[in-house]
């Protein structure tokens, strides 16, 4: 059993990570969260695998390209900022993307394949997002009025799904373990 955990995610292009990094730097003072995600770690999780036995991880490597063979690159657009958790003290601060049938289809295929391999996956509905920060630490309650749409609704192409390996002792902490191109 590996000491790392793994997840499959839609890879974000560098320009999106840089755009979000600039947005965070400009707006961070208004949102006192305890832990900000390193911009190189931005992604959209498709399936969180957790700790993976070597045989199961190998099965992901052996089957994911074929699982995604009919999927083409697709366009996503950054949409707005949101939170998960209690409204006054949110747990997660995230960037949203506009609804995408293509993203949903890729996620369903990835999720189904991982379940067939034997992974125990989250049963909550898929809610695509890019985690920016965690754990509200403000002295005052979170002010939802400060949430806004991104100034420039940046559109970008998703052309890869990545199997990431987590290294909690490093920054950035997500390492690209394997990449799967969309045709």
Both tokens of 174, joined, read 């997500």
User: What amino acid positions are annotated as catalytic residues?
Assistant: 43, 129
pLDDT digits (tens, 9 = 90+) for 96-105: 999 999 999 9
Please, are residues 172 and 40 in contact by the beta-carbon 8 Å criterion? yes
Strand order in the sheet with 74-84: 33-36, 129-136, 92-97, 74-84, 155-158
pLDDT digits (tens, 9 = 90+) for 26-80: 999 989 999 999 999 999 999 999 999 999 999 999 999 999 999 999 999 999 9
pLDDT digits (tens, 9 = 90+) for 111-136: 999 999 999 999 899 999 999 999 99
Half-sphere exposure of 131 (CA within 13 A, CB side): 17
pTM for this model (two decimals)? 0.94
Rounded to the nearest 5 degrees, what angle is found at the Cα of 10, between the Cα atoms of 29 and 120? 105
CATH class of 5-181: alpha beta
Could you tell me what percent of the chain has a pLDDT over 90? 85
């Amino acid at each position: 059993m590996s000491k790392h955990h793994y997840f499959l995610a839609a890879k974000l292009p560098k320009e999106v990570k840089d755009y979000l990094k600039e947005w965070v730097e400009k707006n961070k003072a208004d949102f006192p969260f305890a832990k900000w995600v390193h911009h190189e770690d931005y992604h959209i999780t498709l399936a969180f695998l957790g700790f993976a036995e070597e045989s199961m991880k190998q099965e992901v490597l052996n089957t994911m390209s074929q699982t995604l063979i009919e999927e083409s690159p697709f366009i996503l657009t950054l949409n707005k900022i949101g939170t998960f958790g209690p409204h006054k003290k949110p747990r997660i601060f995230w960037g949203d993307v506009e609804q995408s049938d293509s993203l949903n289809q890729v996620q369903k295929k990835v999720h189904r394949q991982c379940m067939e391999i034997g992974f125990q996956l989250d049963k909550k509905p898929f809610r695509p997002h890019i985690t920016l920060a965690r754990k509200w630490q403000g002295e005052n309650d979170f002010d939802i009025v400060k949430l806004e749409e991104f100034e420039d609704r940046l559109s970008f192409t998703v052309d890869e799904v990545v199997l990431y390996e987590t290294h909690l002792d490093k920054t950035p902490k997500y390492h690209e373990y394997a990449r799967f191109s969309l045709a």
